[in-house]
């Protein structure tokens, strides 16, 4: 997790209030605000030490979290409109007939065929099934794991450090 104050990655984030703004901070920056990390109540009630309870709670949260980009393994083909129209015509169907089979309105089918609107994933799957076409293609994985970008901008921590230095000079 990344500290919202200094921008560094941290293994043990702390919840703090900094000028009444809730933030996630690393242990080095936690002293800048009021620590409001709540101890997991259900574990503390069972007699588990708070430090262990916090780790158990964090582990449970991490197990539940899911990388949203995992689901982006496929994307709509760029020529979906042409594929839909040609497949419908090959089958000899009217837009009305296709509309009834996939559960969409006729004007919406027309918009799909003109490329004005792209179908939702669910509708695209129904179109694939009814028309025996492929509307999705695999997205190649570039570079594998998460790519870290170098920090090029100021973080809140940089601003706070500058303010503290200025305050020390003024005193």
* 78 shares a domain with 59: no
Q: Which domain holds residue 3?
A: 1-65
Q: What is the mean pLDDT of residues 144-155?
A: 50
* 6 shares a domain with 46: yes
Q: Is residue 154 situated within a structural domain?
A: no
* 21 shares a domain with 60: yes
Q: Is residue 128 situated within a structural domain?
A: yes
For the chain, the average pLDDT equals 79
| pLDDT tens per residue, range 16-46 | 887 778 888 888 888 888 877 655 455 455 6
CATH code of the domain in which 126 resides: 1.10.260.40
Full-model pTM: 0.44
How many separate domains does the chain show? 2
In this predicted structure, the answer to whether residue 64 has a pLDDT above a threshold of 60 is no
**According to the 3-state scheme, what is the secondary structure of the chain?**
CECCCCCCECCCCEEEEECCEEEEECCCCHHHCEECCCCCHHHHHCCCCHHHHHHHHHHHHHHHCCCHHHHCCEEECCCHHHHHHHHHHHHCCCHHHHHHHHCCCHHHHHHHHHCCCCCCHHHHHHHHHHHCCCCEEECCCCCCCCCCCCCCCCCHHHHHHHHHHHHHHHC
pLDDT category of residue 149 using cuts at 50, 70 and 90: very low
């Amino acid at each position: 997790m990344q500290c919202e104050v200094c921008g560094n990655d941290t293994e043990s984030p702390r919840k703090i209030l900094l000028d009444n703004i809730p933030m996630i901070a690393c242990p080095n920056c936690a002293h800048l605000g009021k620590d409001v990390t709540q101890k997991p109540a259900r574990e503390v009630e069972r007699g588990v030490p708070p430090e262990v309870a916090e780790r158990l709670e964090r582990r449970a949260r991490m197990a539940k979290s899911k990388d949203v980009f995992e689901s982006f393994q496929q994307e709509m083909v760029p020529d979906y409109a042409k594929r839909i129209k040609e497949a419908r015509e090959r089958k000899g169907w009217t837009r009305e007939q296709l509309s009834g089979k996939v559960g969409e309105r006729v004007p919406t089918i027309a918009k799909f065929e003109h490329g004005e609107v792209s179908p939702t994933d669910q509708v695209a799957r129904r179109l694939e099934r009814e028309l025996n076409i492929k509307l999705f293609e695999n997205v190649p994985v570039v570079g594998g794991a998460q790519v870290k970008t170098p920090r090029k901008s100021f973080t809140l921590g940089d601003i706070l450090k500058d303010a503290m230095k200025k305050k020390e000079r003024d005193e």
